[in-house]
Structure 1
Amino acid sequence: MSPRPTVLAVLLCLAGGASAQDLATTCRIASTYDLTVRPDALVFDRAEPAPRTVRMHDGALATDGRPVALRPDEQDRVALFERQVRVLVPKAKAIANDGVDIAARAVRDEAATAAPQAVASGELDRVLNGRVADIKRRIATSQSTRDWQEDAMRAYAQEIVGDVAPLFANEVGGEAMQLAMNGDLQGAAALRDRVATVSTGGQARVVARVEAALRPRIQALCPSIRELQELQSGLRDSSGRPLNLIESGE
């Protein structure tokens, strides 16, 4: 299994096209684990290789269900690792929430070009606001980074697009038909071209806006994540293998 950019970097993939590899290079950190933040423990898990499960709580460490014997200084590092992760999680969720808002605003701006009547009527805002609220609820209640990884972020973006696409189709289709029926074939063609431009270039513009807004905040968290990498240094699993929850990115 190849290391993925850590969850804090993957947040920039919200709009579905941000380069995860580029972000791994920016922070130079990655992980093959998913993280579940439970009230009683941090649980890291992956399909392979071993250790497949790593559990931390209050200075105690277990891998694949077996406790790891730790020196007092190692217990302190495990406890500090857990504490710092719990501090970072709400910051990550805040970035994710803001990313949803930025993506929604960018979609609205694109819609103002392709379907201005839907914007003017308030229908687009109603649909967008409902979807944004739903996604934010899911982020707020989530305990697992699986809900923040690239695939999840793409799914959220697709949900937003899926909600607004019918509005585009209804307005543009009706307007184009009316123009054609009135004999304005050139106007109908121009309308289709305008929509095609939004469809082909809109996603890239949304991605660019999300990246530009969130990248500095992601970079600001990179030192904290590197500190986690330093805290795990020297720790080993129950079989004596080095514990690499966070790795250096390619």
Structure 2
Amino acid sequence: MTARLFALAVAACFAGGAAAQDLGTTCQLASTYDLTVRPDSLSFDRADVAPRNVRMHDGTLTTDGRAVALRPDEQDRVALFEGNVRALLPKVKGIASDGVDIAARAVRQEAATAAPGAAASGELDRVLGTRVADIKRRIAASQSTRDWQEDAMREYAQEIVSDIMPLLTQDVGGEAMQLAMNGDLQGAAALRDRVASVSSGAQERVAAKVTAALKPRVQALCPQVRQLGELQSGLHDAAGHPLLLLETGG
């Protein structure tokens, strides 16, 4: 399974493409669990392998509904693990939110190149700004990594595309038709070629901009993520098996 814990995916799309930056991959730690941060606890969930649910609350540990007996030093480590996750979450959200802004600006640049009329009218900025604000609100409100995985971010990306594509199609189509009606078939063909050229490489260009901007910030969080891996060392589930919320790799 792909890494999920603290998954940091940032929509970077144009005409249906998407790119993702994963915190687990960058920091070489992965997890098969989804994490939900609740006001009173952390809940780690997966469907296939026991323990399927791991719950931490104020130094206590429960796996699949069974309390785990902990020594005082283990209670301290569980409490510190929970506190560190809560401290890390807003930092990850901040990077994700900024990534959406970076992606949106890059998408706008691509769209403006393909359809400058739509960009000049201000309608593109209005539509794009509304959608980006909605996505950022959802990131801010989210308490589960399910909302941060690549599939979720692809959905966010597709929402952006569905909003802006009608504007671009109308602008380019209208301009091409006008050129053709004026007898400039070569100009109409050149316009179509320009749009095709922009679209074909847009995903890679947008992804590159997002990655370049965010990778140093993601890497800066790696020591905190690795500390979580150290804190879980020696902990066991209720069946006595080593607790592996984070594993080396990704």
Short-chain TM bin: over 0.9
Partners of 1:183 and 1:14 lie apart in 2 by 38
Q: How many Å separate the matches in 1 of 2:21 and 2:231?
A: 28
| Deviation digits for residues 17-74 of structure 1 (CA, Å, limit 9, x no counterpart) | 2465xx6553111110000000010000001100000000100000001100000000
Deviations 1:155-188 (A, max 9, x none): 1112112211111100001111111111111100
1:207 aligns with 2:201: no
Q: 1:105 to 1:126 in 2, by over 3 A?
A: same
Output the amino acid matched with 2:19: G
Answer yes or no: is 1:189 the counterpart of 2:176: no
Task: After superposition, give the CA deviation of every residue in 1:195-226 in whole Å (9 maximum; x if it has no partner).
Answer: 11111111111111110100001100011000
Q: In 1, Cα distance between the equivalents of 2:6 and 2:157?
A: 17
1:7 alignment partner in structure 2: 6
Residue of structure 1 in register with 2:135 after alignment: 135
Question: 2:108 is aligned with what amino acid?
Answer: R
Structure number with the higher helix fraction is 1
1:168 aligns with 2:190: no
Shift of the 109–13 alpha-carbon distance from structure 1 to 2, 3 Å rule, reads closer
Aligned partner of 1:110 in structure 2 is: 110
CA RMSD of aligned residues (A): 1.5
1:3-42 correspondence to structure 2 within 5 Å: 3-4=2-3, 6-8=5-7, 10-12=8-10, 15=13, 16-18=18-20, 20=22, 24-42=24-42
Aligned residues: 246
TM-score (norm 2): 0.94
Structure 1: 4+ residue segments shifted above 6 A: none
Q: Which residue in 1 is equivalent to 2:69?
A: 69
Q: Is this contact kept in 1: 2:63–2:237, CA < 8 A? A: yes
Counterpart CA distance in 2 for 1:115 and 1:14 is 19
CA positional deviation for 1:143: 1.1
- Deviations for 1:96-124, whole angstroms, at most 9, x for unmatched residues? 11011001100111111111111111100
Secondary structure in 2 matching 1:4? coil
Q: Secondary structure at the match of 1:7?
A: coil
Aligned identity (percent) is 72
Q: Is the 8 A contact 1:13 1:19 kept in 2?
A: no
Quote the Cα distance in structure 2 between the aligned partners of 1:111 and 1:181.
Answer: 24
Summarize the Cα distance change of 1:57–1:14 in structure 2 as closer, same or farther, 3 Å threshold: farther
Contact 1:14 1:156 in 2 (8 A): no
**Kept in 1: contact 2:11–2:156 (CA 8 A):** no
Q: Aligned residue for 2:236?
A: 236
Question: Structure 1, unaligned stretches of length 5 or more?
Answer: none
The gaps in structure 2 that reach 5 residues or longer are none
TM-score between the two structures when normalised by the length of structure 1? 0.94
